[in-house]
Structure 1
C-alpha cells in the first residue's frame, strides 16, 4: 500500500540517503547552512526528526528529548533504515487522517514536514560536504506550497529564518524553496 506522501518520500529518500552515505568522518565538524549546526549536529537533529516523524505517522507522541549522538558504529546504515521505516509509516492511508495528537495539526501537514526535512536537510548536508544534490522534482511543488502556507507560523516559532531573495528572477525551483526557508541558495562554508 502507498499514499501520495509515501510516494513523494520514496522519490526524495534515495537522493538524501546518497548524500548521507557520502559523508565521511572528516566532514563531521564542517559548518552547514544551518548556522547553529555543524554537519555532526545537523545529522543528529535530522536523525531524531526522522524517528519522530515516523512515530507521528502512527499518531503516537514522540519523545522530544535532547538529541543524543546517533553517529556511532554503523550510523549510515541505521539512518538509511530509519528513512525506510519513515516511508513505510506514511504509506498507511490512516497516517494521513485527522489531526496529529503530537503536533496539533493535520496529519497531511506533518507528512509534508517529513518531505521538507528529507529534501532541505539533504541539500544542507550536500552543500556542506561538497556533494551534488538534485532533489526529486515531484517533491518541490508540494513543499513550496507547504512553506508558503506554514512558513509564517514556522518563522514565528523560530524554526526558519526570514526568506531571502534569490539572485535571479529565473531561479530554479530548489533555489526558490531554499530562499523561502531562509537559506541562501549560493551558501558556501567560506562565505
Structure 2
C-alpha cells in the first residue's frame, strides 16, 4: 500500500540519495548552507532524521540527544539509501498519517511533511556544499510551499529556519522554498 506521503518521500529521496552517493570522503569537512554544519555533520543529522521519522511514522518515541557518527565505514552511502527506502515504507501505512504525533504533539500528516522538507532542503544543502547539480522532485517542492508557510513563523522563532531571504518573482519553486527556509539559492562555499 502507499500514501501520498510515502510516494512523495520516495520521489524526494531519489535525488538526495544520488547527491549523498556522490559525496567524496575528502568533502566531508566542507561547509554547507546549513549554518554551523559541515557536510559530515549534515549527513549525520539527515541520517538521524530519516531513522527517527521511521519511528515517528509508527508513533514510537525517538531520542534526538544521541548523536552517533553514521559515517564510520565505507558502507554509509548504501545504508543511507536503505534507510530512505525504509522511511518511505514506514509512511506507506495510512495509519501513520492519522491523529496527533505522541512525540511531537502535532498532526501526523505534518510530521510526514517535515521529513519530506528535510530530505528536499538538506539534499540541496549537500549538493550546494559539494558542487553537485540537484533536481528535486517537483511534486515534493510543490507540496512543501504550503507546509513552510504554515510552519515558518514558529520555525524562525525556534531557530530552525533562518529569516526569510527576499525572493525575486521569477525564482524557481525550489529557489523560493530555499528563500522561505532562510537559505540563499546563490550560496556557494567560496562566497
Alignment of 1:46-125 (within 5 A): 46-73=46-73, 74-125=75-126
Partners of 2:40 and 2:137 lie apart in 1 by: 24
- 2 CA distance for matches of 1:75 and 1:154? 30
Task: Answer yes or no: is the 8 Å Cα contact 2:164–2:181 preserved in 1.
Answer: yes
Which residue number corresponds to residue 6 of structure 2? 6
**Cα shift readout 1:63-112 (whole Å, capped 9, x = no counterpart):** 11231211011111111111110000000000000000011000000000
Aligned CA RMSD, in angstroms, stands at: 0.8
Q: How does 1:1-191 map to 2 (within 5 A)?
A: 1-73=1-73, 74-166=75-167, 168-191=168-191
For 2:165 and 2:71, locate their aligned partners in 1 and report how far apart those are by CA, in whole Å. Answer: 32
- Unpaired runs of 5+ in structure 2? none
Query: So what's the TM-score if we normalise by structure 2?
Result: 0.98
Quote the Cα distance in structure 1 between the aligned partners of 2:143 and 2:14.
Answer: 18
Provide, for residues 21-74 of structure 1, a one-character-per-residue CA deviation record: whole Å limited to 9, x for no partner: 000101100000012000000001110011111110000101112312110111
**Could you list the runs of 4 or more consecutive aligned residues of structure 1 that deviate by over 3 angstroms after TM superposition?**
none
Q: CA-to-partner distance for each residue in 1:93-134, whole Å, 9 max, x for gaps?
A: 000000000110000000000110110000000010011000
